[in-house]
């Protein structure tokens, strides 16, 4: 297996100080503010980002320890393969969230609906582009029966 080294480009700041109680996806964090501090050496890469309403964040689940290949996700108690869920305990603890971008000032991004722990290492930012990223006819597998529940669900201790 090849080694892969990723270095953070910044830090995500949110009001969530503990893994328990965090919204499990961005729609459950609507109205919750946060900010991203992009390290100075990467600030030039933010040029023209302010024109986008949403951005895709790739980050490290830095408090996640270990993993199982089959898990019980937050919305139910059935067992699913880790690659069929968005649980933080993964072979490579990488997270992905699409969040609302409110403002870009220098190397600081003001955001809405962050669903990650305060101090989360940011690995990359990509613009959300509806023509590329939205698939209205997409099917969500086992998750179909849980439509609309994500806004109310908070994390618990199972992945802390």
DSSP string, 76-111: -SS-EEGGGS--S--SS-EEEEEEEEEEEETTEEEE
d(C-alpha 3, C-alpha 5), whole Å? 7
Mean residue pLDDT across the chain:
86
pLDDT of residue 101: 97
* 10-27 pLDDT per residue, tens: 999 999 898 777 776 666
Residue 46 phi, psi dihedral angles, 5° rounding: -85, -5
| Residue ranges in the chain modelled with pLDDT below 50 | 158-159
pTM of the entire predicted model: 0.84
Taking domain 10-129, whether its CATH number is 3.30.450.40 is answered by no
pLDDT of residue 32: 84
pLDDT of residue 157: 56
């Amino acid at each position: 297996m090849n080694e892969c080294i990723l270095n953070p480009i910044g830090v995500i700041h949110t009001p969530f100080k503990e893994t328990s109680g965090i919204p499990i996806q961005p729609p459950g964090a609507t109205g919750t503010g946060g900010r991203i501090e992009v390290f100075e050496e990467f600030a030039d890469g933010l040029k023209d980002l302010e024109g986008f309403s949403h951005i895709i964040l790739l980050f490290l689940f830095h408090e996640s320890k270990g993993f199982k290949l089959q898990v019980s996700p937050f919305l139910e108690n059935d067992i699913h393969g880790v690659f069929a869920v968005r649980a933080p305990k993964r072979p490579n603890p990488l997270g992905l969230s699409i969040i609302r971008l409110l403002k870009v000032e220098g190397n600081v991004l003001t955001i809405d609906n962050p669903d990650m722990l305060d101090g989360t290492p940011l690995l990359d930012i990509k613009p959300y582009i509806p023509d590329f990223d939205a698939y209205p006819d997409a099917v969500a597998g086992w998750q179909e029966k849980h439509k609309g529940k994500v806004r109310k669900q908070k994390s618990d201790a199972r992945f802390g």
